[in-house]
Structure 1
């Protein structure tokens, strides 16, 4: 069976179109071209609709790639979202709902979660970080000790300015567990300089078990603590979280379930 000149022309045009898409690095559109053309013939789609579907496939792939890159950069320790947070008695739910809108990022507001271990400070900060990543913002998660260690290493290797630019860059920087472990003197200074770099430019979420009045003792330097608080609290929301530990609550629930099981077998 011979192939008509029209069929040859159409096949050549298809290959040229696919080549153009690949040359423009629209690789997902190139791969989907044959499928979209078949769909257009079957469903009698207009040329505009077929073209829109082809570009939609490429746009979705590009957004997925960018989201994956933001997720890698963020280094969030858990896949928590705000839906995972079971309210503690001391949580200001109205404040959490306001933070969930992410408008605080536009205003370069800071957020401080203060409370004892296990009440959900890290969970809330990670959940807000996750929401910011999904909304297209660059986010970076670190602990206070990790930040201090990275800055110390950068100073020894002559990369101090590069390190400061790294921590100044994200739209949202999450610093977890301030006060859990003592910071060395240069660690407290490095943390202050990071906060100072971001002051009035980008938002920082900080979680701590140390009350604000106790920061001088946590840092070992009242001057550094006062200067850091001055910048953090100038434009900030402070959420004090009280209540039972999630971990202890889970342990208690597990113990209660085991006890009920034993009692049921005995009876």
Structure 2
């Protein structure tokens, strides 16, 4: 479904990126280490459609929660984010592991 949405958006001229969430979080960790974190976040926030697949397969670590919060905050009311998961939505808060951050991330 996510690939179909992304493909359709590309055909209509929208900028799209598709990420497995765990890989994106690893990339953000590496970009922090090499100094390109802000640039990486800016590129992600500018995508008109960002598709995050495999949401909730693993609980988020504290640094990953913060990275996801920054990303969602940068995208809030600017561009569309689609989260794809096999996890029921009522379990998403538990996956994030911090109720305050979970509310901010999931409402953004």
Q: Give the structure-1-normalised TM-score.
A: 0.39
The correspondence for 1:212, drawn from 84, 89, 93, is 89
**Unmatched runs of 5 consecutive residues or more in structure 1:** 1-123, 232-267
Per-residue CA deviation, residues 125-170 of structure 1 (Å, 9 max, x unaligned), is: 1101001111111100001101111111111112221011111111
The reply to whether residue 189 of structure 1 matches residue 76 of structure 2 is: no
Per-residue CA deviation, residues 233-255 of structure 1 (Å, 9 max, x unaligned), is: xxxxxxxxxxxxxxxxxxxxxxx
2:105: which partner in 1? 228
**After TM superposition, which residue ranges in structure 1, 4 or more long, deviate above 4 angstroms?**
none
Aligned residue pairs, count: 108
Query: How big is the shift at 1:178?
Result: 0.6
**Which secondary structure does the structure 1 equivalent of 2:84 belong to?**
strand
**d(CA) in 2 for partners of 1:138, 1:212:** 27
The reply to whether residue 200 of structure 1 matches residue 72 of structure 2 is: no
1:150: which partner in 2? 27
Query: How big is the shift at 1:210?
Result: 2.6
Structure exhibiting the larger radius of gyration computed from Cα positions: 1
Query: How big is the shift at 1:212?
Result: 2.9
Per-residue CA deviation, residues 95-154 of structure 1 (Å, 9 max, x unaligned), is: xxxxxxxxxxxxxxxxxxxxxxxxxxxxx1110100111111110000110111111111
**Which secondary structure does the structure 2 equivalent of 1:204 belong to?**
strand
**d(CA) in 2 for partners of 1:147, 1:125:** 16
The reply to whether residue 127 of structure 1 matches residue 18 of structure 2 is: no
**d(CA) in 1 for partners of 2:83, 2:45:** 15
Q: CA RMSD in A?
A: 1.2
2:45: which partner in 1? 168
